[in-house]
Structure 1
Amino acid sequence: MEADYFSIHQQEQRYYQDLIGNNQGSRYTSHFMELDDEANRLHQYERQRLEDIAERLVSEEVQLRDKEEELYTERMQLFSEGNEAEENRYGY
């Protein structure tokens, strides 16, 4: 997703740079430069947003993995306690 967004951003950059280059001396040059600046700001904002989402997902994945290990350990303890109780009950 980030690669796609970066590719789109690069295309926008080339487009605005071409417009600026093709319109040197035009009264619209400053407008194209403003659009280019806005595209850069939006790109930085979106990139930061994607990085924040990625960090949150990694953190959640680690928490889920820890919880899974905790539950596995708990199940193993319950299973071993059940076996011990059965062995004591039947005298194995």
Structure 2
Amino acid sequence: MEVAITKISQNGQIVIPSGIRREAGIEPSTQFLVFNEDGNILLKRIRKETLSNDIKLIEKIQMAEEQIKKGKFVKVKSSMKDEEIDDLLMQ
């Protein structure tokens, strides 16, 4: 895994260093989902094959965050399937 430092420009642009782009196979015009997680910016490459799963995951995360803010949560086991977890969350 390659690690590098970059900075944001006055226009709000961030350059992903060439070694990271090369290692990840990122070409010009590659699209990303951008997340703000407590002030940490996360990028996830958008791929056609996984876009619908990515959107579902984002929706689940947002729903879970809302429930946590309300003081509601459920305990799950790591061995549970996604459908079982979804059922618990919908209760």
TM-score by length of 1: 0.30
The structure where strand makes up a greater share of residues is: 2
TM-score by length of 2: 0.30
The structure where helix makes up a greater share of residues is: 1
- The structure whose RCO (Cα within 8 Å, separation 6+) is larger is 1
